[in-house]
Each structure stands twice: as structure tokens, then as C-alpha cells.
């Protein structure tokens, strides 16, 4: 009987103390006990389900009792501005929904690791224009280095059979007892005349 009387007195005291906040608070049962709780008046990105509870809209979660913020599965290097909508920070671009990656201008043959920081792939190095260019261990003769240790011959030249970095001139007619020394230019062997 004393327990019931004590419970009733505590509830009456709680109600009276909550009464001083008329219009802003009310009594709510929380974990089996009466509590003086502030009424739900503001519920940003949600709605007041009853006089006490702010319920977040789908795709939002509680940041505080009166505010819900959007949820993004993966919003690194950006700000989640709506559910699954990530606004990238400066120097980053969206490459998939809610995924911001660093942006580099002209980062072919490399990986953009930070905004405007391009690390060249293996077999490539930065040239004077800060672009990743292929490396050929032996310089290409009469050709261009187009991939690591791969030469492409200039027009009028073909790859040497023994040395892949060397391109020899092509003569459209056979050089008899002579050597093709330039595009369509034969040079006679010693002691021979064309």
C-alpha cells in the first residue's frame, strides 16, 4: 500500500512540476515511468507523429530530437544533401551515386590520388607538360614510344627484326647490291654503282 501511495505522490509531483511548462511540455510514459517531455513542435525533414515524437522521413535519420538529416551510403569527400545524393567537395567529382573521387586534368596512364595529383602507372613518367608518358628503355629510332618499351615506327619506316626499338627506312623498290638508307633511297655497297 505504501508503494502505491508513494508512486501516486511522485506522479502528482511530476505532473505539478511539468504543469509549470504549460503548452510546451506534457507527461509521457518512458520506460514505464512518467516523464515531463517537451512537445514536438519542430521536426526538420520529418513529422510530429503525436504530441511528443519526431519521426524522420524515409532516407533520413535523427541528428537531434527535432532534426533529421539525410542518409548517404557512401559520401566520402562530400556532403550528403539529400538521401543518397552526395555533393562533392571542391576538387572532387561524382563517379557513381554518392561516391566522390579526386579530379585531375589529363591523368591518362595514371591514377588521380588527390585533386590535381596524378601518379603515373608503372612504365610511365611525367613529361615536361606534366602528363604521364610511356618509358622506352632504349630510345625509339625513327619512331615514337607509344607504350612502355613499345616503339611505333614513323611513316615510311618498319621495325628492325633484331632491335625492336629501331625502325629502318622502307624502299618501295628493291635495293640491289645496295642498302636502303632513307625512304625510297638506296646507297650502293662499296665499289658498286647504280
Q: How far is CA 72 from the centre of its chain?
A: 14
In the predicted model, residues of the chain with pLDDT beneath 50 are 2-17, 19-25
3-state secondary structure of 34: strand
Q: What is the pLDDT of residues 6-31, one digit of tens each?
A: 444 444 444 444 544 444 445 555 56
Q: What's the pLDDT score for residue 30?
A: 56
Q: What is the pLDDT of residues 70-80, one digit of tens each?
A: 999 888 899 99
Q: What's the pLDDT score for residue 9?
A: 46
Q: What's the pLDDT score for residue 181?
A: 87
| Angle (nearest 5°) at CA 155 between 153 and 157 | 55
pTM of the entire predicted model = 0.56
Q: What's the pLDDT score for residue 13?
A: 46
3-state secondary structure 100-145: EEECCCCCCCEEEEECCEEEECCCEEECCCCCEEECCCCCCECEEE
Q: What's the pLDDT score for residue 162?
A: 92
Q: How far is CA 62 from the centre of its chain?
A: 27
Amino acid at each position: 500500500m505504501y508503494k502505491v501511495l508513494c508512486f501516486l505522490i511522485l506522479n502528482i509531483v511530476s505532473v505539478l512540476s511539468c504543469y509549470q511548462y504549460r503548452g510546451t511540455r506534457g507527461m509521457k510514459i518512458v520506460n514505464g515511468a512518467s516523464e515531463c517531455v517537451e512537445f514536438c513542435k519542430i521536426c526538420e525533414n520529418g513529422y510530429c507523429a503525436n504530441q511528443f515524437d519526431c519521426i524522420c522521413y524515409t532516407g533520413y535519420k535523427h541528428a537531434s530530437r527535432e532534426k533529421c538529416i539525410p542518409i548517404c551510403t557512401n559520401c566520402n569527400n562530400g556532403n550528403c544533401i539529400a538521401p543518397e545524393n552526395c555533393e562533392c567537395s571542391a576538387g572532387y567529382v561524382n563517379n557513381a551515386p554518392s561516391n566522390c573521387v579526386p579530379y585531375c586534368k589529363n591523368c591518362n596512364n595514371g591514377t588521380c590520388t588527390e585533386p590535381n595529383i596524378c601518379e603515373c602507372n608503372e612504365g610511365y613518367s611525367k613529361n615536361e607538360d606534366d602528363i604521364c608518358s610511356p618509358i622506352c628503355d632504349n630510345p625509339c629510332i625513327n619512331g615514337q614510344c607509344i607504350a612502355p618499351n613499345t616503339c611505333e615506327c614513323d611513316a615510311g619506316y618498319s621495325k628492325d627484326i633484331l632491335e625492336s626499338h629501331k625502325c629502318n627506312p622502307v624502299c618501295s623498290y628493291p635495293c640491289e647490291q645496295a642498302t636502303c638508307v632513307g625512304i625510297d633511297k638506296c646507297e650502293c655497297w662499296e665499289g658498286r654503282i647504280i
